[in-house]
Structures are given as C-alpha cells and as structure tokens.
Amino acid sequence: MSSTRKFVGALSLSVLVMGGLGLTGGALSPLTPTDAASPAKPQTQTTPTARALPDFSGLVKQYGPAVVNISTTAKARMPAIPGLEPGHPLYEFFRQFGGQVPQGDQIRQGVGSGFIVTQDGYILTNAHVVAEATEVTVRLTDKREFKAKVIGSDQRTDIALVKIEAKALPTVRIGDPEKAQVGEWVAAIGSPFGLENSVTAGIISAKARSLSGESLVPFIQTDVAVNPGNSGGPLFTMNGEVIGINSQIYSRTGGYMGLSFAVPIDVAMKVKEDLQKFGKVSRGRLGISIQSVSAELAESFGLAKPQGALVTSVEPGSAAQKAGIATGDIILAVNNRNVEEAGDLARTIAQMKPGSNVALKVWRKGATRELRASLGEVPPENVAQAGESPSAGAQGKLGLAVRPLRPEERKQLSADGGVMVESATGPAARAGIRPGDVILALNDTPVKSVEDLRRLADKAKGNVALLVQRQEGKIYVPLKIG
C-alpha cells in the first residue's frame, strides 16, 4: 500500500503506547556522551560522539505555557436513516419522489493545537483544525478555558488565526526558518490524540519540500513524532524560537511513521498579518501554468543546467501576457532572485502584493531577456497549478501517429493549432505520451499541422520537449530521440 499524506488534525481520543528515546523497561535510561572504559584523553576538537544529547526542559518550561489545546465542535449533515447514502435503494426513491434525502444533524468534535503569538490573545493554528467549526474552545496550560473567535483562515497554506479575549498572555518567540539547518534538533509541543502539552523531539530532515497540491508552501520536513492532534502546534529550535507549524504527515496507518511536515513560520506570519488587517489573504499572480525543468528539458531548450520554471500556458489578458511572456519561456529569476524550480516561482510571486512590479529574467530561443510585469491578484480558492504528469501512450522518429484536429475538437480545446495523438510507441510511449493527447509545440516552435511536426522532428536530435495538452492541462514532456 502506497504512503498517504495525512492532515494531522483532530481525532477522537485513543490510547497509544509508543517507545521513546532511551526507553528500557518503561523507564528513561540515563544516556551519557561516552562510555569509555579508560580515562578520556584531552581533545582539541569536539566530535559528534562527545556532544551531550539535547535537553529541551528549559525550552518547555519557558515557552510551553504559550502552547494551547484547541477543541472544536461542528455540525455535520448526515442521513437521518442510517445507511441511507448514495447506492442505497431508498436513497434514489427519496431523491426522485421526495425531492430530497432525509437529513439529520450530527455533532462532530475535534482536538488540535495552537500557540499564542500576541499577549492580547491572537493564536495561530491550522485551517483544517477549525474548519467548519461552530464552536472553538482554547485551553491554556493553567487550565483556563476561553471561547475563541476564528478571525480568518487560508486554505492554501492551511493557516488559521483565532482570537481569545485575555491579556498578559505568554507568547512564543518567532524565529527565522531560513537560518535553520538540516540535521539540527527541533521539538514539537501539542496535543496528539488529545494528550495535552506532549513534547516530542527530532531533527530537521529536509527544507523547502514541495508536496502535491501545496506549491505555495516550502515545507520543513522533520522526523519529530507528530500525530493526529498535533496539528497547529509549534516547531521549536533549540534556542526556543518557533520556525514552523506542524501540519501534515505521511503515513500508511494514519499515525506517525517518521515523516512530518511543518509550514514555515514566515509563511504563517504573513498570512496572520493579512487576516488580522484585512480578513483575507491577497497574493500576486502572473497568470501562467508552469512546470520544473528536468535535465532532458534543459538540453532541449539549450540551457546549461536544469533550472527555472517552464511556462506551459499563458492566460489571455493576464499580467504575464501583458508582459510578453510566452509558452516555452523559462523564467530564471524574479527581481534578481534565482528560480531553481517551478515551486520557487509560485511561492515568490504569491508572497507579493497584487499590483507589484517585478523584473523577470527569461530564457527564450537560446538567449536571456528581461521582462517586467505588474502582478494581478489570485482569485479566491482558484490557484493555477502545474498540469498533471502524463502517463502512457507509432511511427516515425518520435514514435507518434498523429492526425489533424477536427473542427469540433479545435473548438472544444480552444486551440489555434496542434495535432491529435492516435497512438504512441518507442520514444513517445517511454516519455508518457498517450492517445488523445494534443501536441501543441516542439520545443518552443508551435505545431500547426502534421507536416509541421514531421519537419521539426526530422531536424531534432537528442532530447526534444513536446508541449502536450491533455484535457484542460498543458505540460512539456521531455522525449529522447533514439
């Protein structure tokens, strides 16, 4: 069974027995830096074996009171008759003859975590912790409870801001995720399975992880034990600074398996400021679909190394079109900040305000050029994402059998050119081209007809990049000519 990404959100309380660092016979064994039988020799340099294991007790004592438990109540509409769901014979009867299926309210409760960022009661947590909640209760470590108000939430980053009416509250200290290093110790405090103020520790496994569907968040990956209920809790460095919000896990069982992901705190704080000031989050937008550049695509476009964001489509009337960006361009930098992959561009643009002017360094037809764009605004809950990677798919150099588009197909696809793939073998099949795909361009040259594709393919050597439209998505597919 393949791994599944899970939100570490609220679940009903369960009893879970877990091993811990240095556990023997249910007691914590003392761990020492070294266990040498002979007297230690003087060392001029500290080695990893000579360092003491980290002690988080001071951190927990100082900042633990700023970590809160969040419990929620929500109403879910459920069939009033048990089992009366789509597929049940009576379901169709009620739908067709009664006009609606009998419904009943079911109370759903959840538990998550959060942390106080201002003394007057602003608290950060995950959006999925408070999603659809009709009542939110915040419990502090001193057992005080407050009814909380959801100021706003942002689904794209999974960040929510809630407020309690209190003063002189303990707060966390905000850190800089950029300064955090892979391999350094970190700790999480939260309410896994409802067990309030549980502390777990581990190391940073990786930074700037891009997860499917979350192109705006460069996740911090850790091996800290994070479980359902830890959602919204802080990720601390050894010096007591919060660098992330624990948000997701990869799991086959629904529980911890060594892969935990946190939203960087700088991303969360920007969301917090927007929600607090405006009640929503505003993001800049170019109006393009993009994908990362592989080694094969880099060779196809004449780049010295794989880098940048390859433009697969440009929306009519968008900021990108007005700036002169075209399909097949590779955006290498924004305001002199290098773009290594597609996610870098998406995050950089999203962090800017609508109307911002940006300088873009673009690779086109073997040379760089400078373009300037005035950013548009991301519409609510409608973020453009890179197209899906093709799967599988008969003649000629490319291994493709193609035909011209029929008038109705051209109208449906809103395509000026392109050819329809009828079958794919050899290089095309290995690259993932399949019947029904529409070839729109080879490298950065549009394909208007079957003859265009044949002529371009005859001239091509090594790796080429085919711009493919599959249903509503477009993506460049690298293809190695054998």
Q: Which residues are tagged catalytic?
A: 128, 158, 231
- Rounded to whole angstroms, the Cα distance separating 246 from 233 reads 6
Burial class (CB in 10 A: 0-12, 13-18, 19+), 211: middle
Sorted by sequence, the CB contacts under 8 Å of residue 191 that are 6+ apart come out as: 69, 70, 111, 112, 113, 197, 198, 229, 230, 233
3-state secondary structure 48-106: HHHCCCCCCHHHHHHHHHHEEEEEEEEEEEEECCCCCCCCCHHHHHHHHHHCCCCEEEE
Distances (CA, A) of 469 to 19, 167, 212, 383: 50, 56, 20, 19
- Rounded to whole angstroms, the Cα distance separating 263 from 159 reads 8
- Rounded to whole angstroms, the Cα distance separating 250 from 252 reads 7
Sorted by sequence, the CB contacts under 8 Å of residue 219 that are 6+ apart come out as: 208, 209, 210, 211, 247, 248, 261, 262, 263, 264
